[in-house]
């Protein structure tokens, strides 16, 4: 068993070096596919951070009539707070709203004088509601249409924000589907390239394989070296993809930080370096092994 395995590995490395030009081309193409897969992983992190940043800016604000009793407003707050979709609720009373308004326009004397002339506080109490995810705002808005709440509510900002919320949900959905589709397409392309490379290697070694089969070599002994060849291609491409990605990420990281404050793709890359390396190796070696297996299997059936 050990002798057979050592022979398979030895012949696999020999095939890789013997087909130097073909092996190099296959490594390069597989490397490109793995670079795209790695960029998709990084891009997923960027879109997640962007989505979180946008979600923090999206909310539903419920404004109450100026004559609505505070205890009734707090009861409504408690009812809405019990919904599973609600992440947080912030209550702003009428006096607090007035103080915030004055602080915001402290340098605008005309506005301050107008408030003083009015005398009574014209601002409404409000509830600022945030959901766990954008698609949950519609459920919260439906709950606010309760007939028990309507006499006290002046307006709800959901209709105003609905377009932005729906657009965010659509963008997140498209990014996820697009990334998955692109990964599958590139995996198939890389697999086909490895498949055809192994087929060429089989063709160039057909006389040697014929002799091996004539002397009674098992299918495993014939298939094994080519699978090792494909796995070497995938392994080298995976290692090179991480090495090549490092300077690119270091260059692009400051630009992403300007776009999304608090995001550092460079920090994410180095923090998760071992995990990313592991994923790339699994992906690369998997493509090489499966493609090689299918190529040799097709040959052995002929």
Nearest to residue 3, comparing CAs of 202, 218, 291? 218
pLDDT at residue 195 is higher than 80? no
| Phi, then psi, of 155 in degrees rounded to 5 | -160, 160
Residue 142 to residue 136: CA distance in whole angstroms: 10
Q: Write the pLDDT tens digit of every residue in 122-143.
A: 788 999 998 887 778 888 888 8
Instruction: Look at residue 23 in the predicted model and tell me its pLDDT.
Output: 75
| Residues 292 and 198: beta-carbon distance below 8 Å | yes
Residues 159, 161, 163, 165, CA torsion sign: negative
CA–CA separation, 78 vs 281, rounded Å?
51
| Ranges of each domain in the chain | 2-54+168-301, 60-156
The pair of structure tokens assigned to 184 is 């599958």
Q: Count the Cβ atoms, other than its own, within 10 Å of residue 265.
A: 21
Contact 227, 201 (CB under 8 A): no
Q: Give the model confidence (pLDDT) of 141-187 as tens digits.
A: 888 887 788 888 888 887 666 676 667 667 767 766 776 677 677 76
Of all residues in the chain, the percent with pLDDT exceeding 70 is 73
Token code pair at residue 278 = 């592991």
Mean pLDDT (the chain) is: 78
Which of the four pLDDT bands, split at 50, 70 and 90, describes residue 244? very high
Q: What pLDDT is stored for residue 281 in this prediction?
A: 92
* Segment 24-31 mean pLDDT: 81
**Distances in Å between the alpha carbon of 39 and those of 233, 236, 265, 277?**
20, 18, 11, 13
Number of H helices, E strands in the chain: 11, 4
Q: Which residue has the higher pLDDT, 198 or 277?
A: 277
Q: Is the pLDDT of residue 116 over 80?
A: no
What's the rounded Cα separation, in Å, for the pair 79 and 73? 10
The CATH class given to the 60-156 domain equals alpha beta
**Mean pLDDT lowest for which of 68-72, 203-207, 287-291?**
203-207
Burial (CB count <10 Å: 0-12, 13-18, 19+), residue 23: buried
pLDDT above 90 coverage of the chain, percent: 8
CB 78 within 8 A of CB 214: no
* Cα separation values, 122 from 95, 118, 263, Å: 10, 8, 41
Quote the strand ranges of the chain, DSSP E. 60-64, 86-92, 126-131, 153-156
For the whole model, what pTM was predicted?
Answer: 0.62
Residue 240 pLDDT: 93
- Residues 66 and 263: their CA atoms lie apart, in Å, by 42
Look at residue 93 and tell me whether its pLDDT is greater than 70: yes
Confidence of residue 40 (pLDDT cuts 50, 70, 90): confident
């Amino acid at each position: 068993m050990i002798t057979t395995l050592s022979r398979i590995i030895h012949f696999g490395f020999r095939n890789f070096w013997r087909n130097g030009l073909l092996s190099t081309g296959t490594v390069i193409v597989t490397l490109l596919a793995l670079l795209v897969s790695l960029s998709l992983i990084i891009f997923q992190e960027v879109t997640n951070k962007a989505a979180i940043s946008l979600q923090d800016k999206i909310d539903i604000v419920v404004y109450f009539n100026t004559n609505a009793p505070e205890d009734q407003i707090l009861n409504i707050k408690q009812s809405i707070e019990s919904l599973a979709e609600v992440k947080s609720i912030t209550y702003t009373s009428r006096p607090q709203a007035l103080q915030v308004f004055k602080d915001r326009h402290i340098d605008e004397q005309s506005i301050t004088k107008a408030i003083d002339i009015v005398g009574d506080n014209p601002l409404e109490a409000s509830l600022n509601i945030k959901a766990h995810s954008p698609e949950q705002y519609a459920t919260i808005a439906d709950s606010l249409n309760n007939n028990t709440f309507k006499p006290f509510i002046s307006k709800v900002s959901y209709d105003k924000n609905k377009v932005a919320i729906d657009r965010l949900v659509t963008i997140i959905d498209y990014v996820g589907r697009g990334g998955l589709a692109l990964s599958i397409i590139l995996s198939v392309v890389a697999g086909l390239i490895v498949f055809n490379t192994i087929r060429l290697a089989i063709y160039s070694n057909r006389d040697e394989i014929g002799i091996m089969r004539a002397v009674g070599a098992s299918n495993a002994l014939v298939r094994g070296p080519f699978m090792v060849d494909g796995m070497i291609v995938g392994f080298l491409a995976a290692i090179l993809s991480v090495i090549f990605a490092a300077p690119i990420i270091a260059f692009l990281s400051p630009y992403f930080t300007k776009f999304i404050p608090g995001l550092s793709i460079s920090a994410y890359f180095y923090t998760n370096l071992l995990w990313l390396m592991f994923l790339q190796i699994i992906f690369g070696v998997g493509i090489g092994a499966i493609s090689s297996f299918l190529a040799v299997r097709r040959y052995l059936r002929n």
